[in-house]
Amino acid sequence: MRSLFEDMLGNSLLLDTPPRRIISLVPSQTELLYTLGLHEQVVGITKFCVHPQKWFRNKERVGGTKTLHLDKIKALRPDLIIANKEENEKEQIEALAKEFPVWVSDIRTLEDALRMIRGVGDVTGKAKEAYSLAEDIDKRFKRLGKKGKGGRVAYFIWYRPWMAAGGDTFINDILSRIGFQNVLKDKNRYPEVNPADLLHAGVEKILLSSEPFPFGEKHIAELQSLLPDVAVQLVDGEMFSWYGSRLLQAADYLDRCV
């Protein structure tokens, strides 16, 4: 049976349903496919798809999110590829879309993430499981609330150059949901930042993500030497930036870490 679907960019896909050979090019969406129970159907993942561990060890890896090995993907003969506008390179996705059905997500907010989860459920034949999952995540975040917490923050993702999350990112939306005010909310994507300049923006706390750059204690010390009156905290980047089933755990974590 062939069915027509639309991805989050408005692209139409005509698929044989349900798909039997799926490749996921995004770590958080790979974990979602696992949660939905697509254990046999997923045949390829990226080298950054570290959850679940048994998939990371046993599934065919098709390169990095931005450095895909197109030959490996073609050899796996997928009948569905699941990608993301930001995490994957446009040119590579367009090349794959000429030969295979590619469903692309575009995530800036929690609402986008919930829509993605439902959309992935529709396209993989796991609508019931996906809609239930999205409802559960939505309820957990609504219970979370802002609780008057937070303060003025910067959320760093990279070192040398220092880079932080701007206002049009999923991370910014998550920060706002727990009462944080992103001092870089007027910047787009992930701007380069001189940490010393953040004082002029009134920063009160700096959050250092565990990914994609693995910040550690030495980076805390470096920042505190530059900004001695600003609190610096290491945080689990997956809880702030993974927009799949990891969101089930994120609400409780975010409540504790603020």
Q: Which residues contact 146 (CB under 8 A, 6 or more apart)?
A: 177, 178, 179
78 and 157 co-located in one domain: no
Q: Strand (E) positions, 159-198?
A: 163-164, 180-182
Report whether 131 contacts 27 (CB < 8 A): no
Q: Name the helix (H) or strand (E) containing 145.
A: none
**pLDDT above 70: residue 146:** no
Overall average pLDDT of the 96-106 stretch:
98
Q: Which domain CATH number covers 83?
A: 3.40.50.1980
Report whether 29 contacts 103 (CB < 8 A): no
99 and 157 co-located in one domain: no
pLDDT for the residue 149: 64
Q: How far apart are CA 132 and CA 72, in angstroms?
A: 34
- Please state, for a pLDDT cut of 70, what percent of the chain lies above it: 98
pLDDT for the residue 201: 92
Per-residue pLDDT tens for 152-189? 999 999 999 999 999 999 999 999 999 999 999 999 99
What is the number of other CB atoms lying within 10 angstroms of the CB of residue 243? Answer: 28
For residue 136, what pLDDT band results from cuts at 50, 70 and 90? very high
69 and 167 co-located in one domain: no
**Domain boundary pick from 91, 110, 141:** 141
Number of separate domains in the chain: 2
Overall average pLDDT of the 37-42 stretch:
98
Does 146 fall in a domain?
no
And the tokens for 170? 């999923």
Does 11 fall in a domain?
yes
* Positive or negative torsion for Cα 69, 72, 77, 81: negative
Residue span of the structural domain in which 195 resides: 151-257
**Domain boundary pick from 141, 170, 202:** 141
Closest by Cα among 195, 188, 213, 189 to 154 = 195
Does 239 fall in a domain?
yes
- Please state, for a pLDDT cut of 90, what percent of the chain lies above it: 91
